[in-house]
Structures are given as structure tokens and as C-alpha cells.
Amino acid sequence: MGERRWRVQVLRRPQKVLRRLPKNLLQRIREAIWSLADDPRPPGCVKLVGYDNLYRLRVGDWRIIYAVEDDQLIILVIEIAPRGGVYERLTR
């Protein structure tokens, strides 16, 4: 049997951020997001302390914050932002 592929969903706020990015950065971030469908916990990702299922992935100076729903095979991208302010927007 083949491995089941994860489904990736991007929330509205990160979608708006993606629309405003320069083309080269947009391509790098999109590639990172879609690669999560094959490996939701790739090398370099970090589980966020204080959250059950949130992870951070770095793309240059930008951060992708996403949730892993293991029981449903869903990756939910909840935030994309430059390093620094991304963590203040998260609620526990």
C-alpha cells in the first residue's frame, strides 16, 4: 500500500499575505507549503512550545505556522509572516 498524502488547507489571512508577496518569495513559500503534503514534519520544522499541534517552518526571514491534524491527515496553514511578529498573533 502507498503512503497516504496529507491535504493542505491555507486559511484566509495567510492567503491574503501570499497575494502581496514578491514573486520569488511567493514561489519559495508555496513550495514549502505544498511539500508539507508529503512530509508534515520536515527537517527544520519546530513544534511550538505551549501548543498541542502547532509547528513552525522557516523560509528565509519568513515563518509559516501550521497545525497538523494527524487523525484527519490535514495540514492547516494558519499564519505566514516575517520573523518576529508572527508569534504574537497566535492565541493559545
Domain map (residue ranges) of the chain: 7-82
Cα dihedral 27, 28, 33, 39 in deg (nearest 10)? 130
Q: What is the pLDDT of residues 36-85, one digit of tens each?
A: 999 999 999 999 999 999 999 999 999 999 999 999 999 999 999 998 87
pTM, 2 dp = 0.90
Which CATH number does the domain 7-82 belong to among 3.40.190.10, 3.40.50.2000, 3.30.590.20, 3.30.2310.20?
3.30.2310.20
- Which stretches of the chain are DSSP H helices? 12-20, 23-35
d(CA 70, CA 50): 18
C-alpha to C-alpha distance for 27 and 21, rounded to whole angstroms: 9
Report whether pLDDT(3) > 70.
no
